[in-house]
Structures are given as C-alpha cells and as structure tokens.
C-alpha cells in the first residue's frame, strides 16, 4: 500500500466514494460533457459536504485538513468520473485565490459561500506567464466615478458563462508586463460571456470567454496587490500542479478499472481476455504505473501544508501523473478494442480528459525547467 491512511482519512475517502456513486450519473455526465455545461447542482452538494477547500483553515471556513485529504477527494471523485471531478475541483481554485490573497472583508463575505457551494465561481487557472497571449483584458485608469475601467476579452475561464462571481487575471495599465487579480460580479453591467470553442476533454468545466466593456472596478474588486497578479498566480502554481496530479491519478485509476472489468468479462477463443499473457502483462504495467504515481503524489501531499508546497515535487507529481493518465487510458482503450472508441464504456472520455489535464498543466518544458532549476541550484561563476 502506498500510504497507511488514518481513520479519518479513510472516512473522507469513503464519503467521497459514496458521494460520487450517488451523484455522478453516467448518462447525465455524458450529456453535460456534450453540452460543455458546468454541473451546478453537484457543485452545491459537494460544497455542502465540505469537499471544496477541505484543506483550507477552519478559521476561513475550510475543513482544516491537509493536502493529502484534498488529494484523496480529487482522486476518488476522478476515478468515478474524471470530467465531473475536474469541473468541481478546478472551480474550487477560486477559494485558493481568496484564502491566499483576499483581504478579511473579501474572505468574510465570499469565501465561505464558495466553500459551502452557495456561490458558484468562474475561475481563470492561467496562464501564469510573463505575457498573456489569449487576453486583451486590461485594467485602465478611469474617471472620478470609479478607480479603474476594465475593457477587453479573456479566454479559458472555468464556468465563466454561468458564474455568480468571476476571478480573473488582467493586464494592468501601470506597466506593460503587469497584471492584477480581480473578482467581478458575473451579472455586473458590461460583463459578457460566451463559450469557448469546444475542447477535446474536460468539457464539463464550461470554459468560457469573458468580455468586459467599460466595467467599473474599485479597490474592493482587487485581490491582493495591484500589478502583482502574475507573482501571486505563480505562488499558486504548486497547488494547481498537485491538484492536477491528483485528478490525473484518479483518471488513470478509473480508466484502469474500466479496462480490467472488461477483460475479466469478455471472451475470445473460449477464454477470458484476462487469461491471455499479453493482456496480463499490460494490466501489470498499468497497475505499476498507477502505484508509482500514487506514491509520489501522496508523498508530496503529506509533506505539504495549505500555503507551502515544494514546487519541484509538485511539478514532478504533475508531470508523472498526467503522463500516466494518458498512457493508462490509451492502453485501456486498446484492451476494449472497438468498444474503447464508444461512449458506452467511458474510457474514451478518460483519455480525452487525461490529455486535457496534461495540456492544462502547461508545456512539458516549463515543468521540467522547474524541476531542473531546483535540482541544479545556483551555479558558481
């Protein structure tokens, strides 16, 4: 076993499993996936059960647990349905913004509503880079009736089209490379939204394009410090990497279980497919791959707290887990043969979601550079 879970951790894992079994209906998930629709009702129930922000401090309305508990929830939900789990857990990153950089007023008025599922956020996960090529959204100087004026467009906002509140990263007029973190009322005048182009996977996240036309913004909308948005977002990267690793781990496990169930039931030439040596070798390699990733991901989570995750180890877990999810789900499709390409058996959706998680993690070179920089350290001149 990768790690001996405590009694409370086993209860959390079991509760998440029961929740997923009761709420993650396959037909509904396929329909939501087809329509690229965010699962609002399931979000509310997940919040009521405390799955959102389970690792955040109790004083902020969180569960007061650790990152391992958060990983267990994400992994367990993703094993049942990768698309639904990703939509819920990634939208929950809005709580990270407020918990880490929000002022006491913002935390008191909004954070608990998000954690309890009473408010549904639209969240930008990235890009955390020096420039934002998919964004023309800019915070400009305004007249006396407002501190700033927000104009332009931003793509890739999770649940952006139906969100109660939007968490955005926009360019700041103070400097060419400066950005600021903002939160906006989803129904505020001048805020328009529309779905992005259909994605390969993670369609239930409801990725949307947000457009702002002369939206008035005050310091109350600012999260953290003005023009420090990229720096703040970069500090959240390890948390995102670890969460993506947990979702990828669950996705790999779910694909493996579906492939295993199929070969134990189906027969060829009068024998169960699971009896053929080539199948057994594939299953063994898949199980080994998953267990290695689980061990790494759990270890990163165990040695992390809500505000301190080793960037190098989180990048390693992300890189290994997303790669494993793609490979395992691809092998599972092969095990199912022609059935693997149909929506009836779900493994094709596991593959699509695994690839989307890998892309969402950022370019492979960015992850390997994070690892290499920590491994090499400072060079003497």
Q: Measured on CA atoms in the order 70, 72, 75, 78, is the torsion positive or negative?
A: negative
Distance CA 47, CA 238 (A): 23
Bridge pairing between strands 165-172 and 121-124: parallel
pLDDT score recorded for residue 340:
87
The answer to whether 184 and 221 have CB atoms below 8 angstroms apart is yes
Token pair of 193 as six digits: 């939204």
The answer to whether 43 and 117 have CB atoms below 8 angstroms apart is yes
How does the average pLDDT of the chain come out, rounded?
91
The pLDDT of residue 128 is above 60 = no
Q: What is the mean pLDDT of residues 96-115?
A: 95
The pLDDT of residue 203 is above 90 = yes
Q: pTM here?
A: 0.94
Distance CA 188, CA 118 (A): 18
The answer to whether 129 and 163 have CB atoms below 8 angstroms apart is no
The pLDDT of residue 167 is above 60 = yes
CA 255 distance to own-chain centroid: 18
pLDDT score recorded for residue 380:
81
pLDDT score recorded for residue 378:
80
pLDDT in tens, 353-379: 999 999 988 777 888 888 998 889 888
208: nearest Cα among 193, 190, 189: 193
For residue 181, what are the β-bridge partners? 169, 223
Count CA atoms closer than 13 A to 143's CA, side-chain side.
Answer: 3
pLDDT score recorded for residue 377:
86
Report the Cα–Cα distance between both ends of the chain, in Å, rounded: 46
pLDDT in tens, 11-63: 999 999 999 999 999 999 999 999 999 999 999 999 999 999 999 999 999 99
pLDDT score recorded for residue 355:
96
Polymer length of the chain: 381
285: nearest Cα among 256, 250, 326: 256
| Higher pLDDT pick, 307 / 75 | 75
pLDDT score recorded for residue 130:
41
Distance CA 58, CA 190 (A): 36
pLDDT in tens, 214-252: 999 999 999 999 999 989 998 999 999 999 999 999 999
Distance CA 222, CA 139 (A): 11
Angle in degrees, CA 219, 125, 35, rounded to 5: 115
pLDDT score recorded for residue 2:
59
């Amino acid at each position: 076993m990768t790690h001996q879970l405590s009694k409370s951790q086993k209860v959390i894992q079991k509760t998440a499993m029961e929740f997923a079994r009761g709420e993650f209906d396959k037909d509904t998930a396929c329909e939501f996936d087809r329509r690229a629709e965010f699962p609002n009702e399931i979000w509310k129930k997940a919040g009521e059960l405390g799955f959102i922000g389970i690792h955040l401090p109790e004083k902020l309305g969180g569960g007061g647990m650790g990152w391992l508990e958060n990983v267990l929830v994400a992994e367990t939900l993703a094993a049942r349905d990768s698309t639904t789990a990703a939509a819920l857990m990634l939208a929950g990153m809005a709580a990270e913004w407020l918990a880490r950089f929000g002022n006491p007023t913002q935390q008191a008025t909004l954070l608990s509503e998000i954690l309890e599922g009473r408010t549904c956020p639209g969240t930008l996960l990235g890009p955390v880079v020096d420039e934002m090529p998919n964004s023309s959204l800019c915070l400009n100087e305004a007249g006396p009736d407002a501190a700033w004026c927000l104009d332009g467009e931003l793509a890739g906002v999770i649940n952006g089209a139906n969100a109660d509140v939007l968490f955005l990263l926009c360019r700041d007029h103070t400097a060419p490379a400066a950005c600021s973190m903002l939160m906006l009322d989803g129904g505020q005048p001048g805020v328009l939204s529309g779905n992005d182009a259909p994605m390969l996977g993670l369609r239930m996240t409801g990725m949307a394009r947000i457009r702002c036309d002369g939206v008035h913004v005050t310091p109350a909308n600012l999260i953290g410090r003005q023009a420090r948005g990229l720096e703040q977002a970069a500090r959240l990267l390890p948390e995102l990497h670890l969460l993506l690793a947990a979702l990828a781990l669950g996705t790999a496990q779910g694909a493996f279980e579906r492939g295993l169930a199929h070969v134990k039931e189906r027969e060829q030439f009068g024998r169960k497919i699971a009896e053929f040596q080539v199948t057994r070798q594939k299953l063994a390699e898949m199980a080994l791959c998953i267990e290695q990733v689980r061990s790494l991901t759990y270890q990163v989570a165990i040695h992390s707290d809500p505000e301190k995750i080793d960037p190098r180890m989180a990048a390693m877990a992300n890189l290994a887990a997303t790669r494993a999810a793609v490979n395992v789900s691809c092998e599972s499709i092969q095990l199912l043969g022609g059935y693997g390409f149909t929506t009836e058996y779900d493994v094709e959706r596991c593959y699509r979601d695994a690839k989307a998680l890998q892309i969402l993690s950022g370019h492979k070179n960015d992850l390997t550079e994070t690892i290499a920089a920590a491994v090499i350290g400072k060079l003497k001149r």
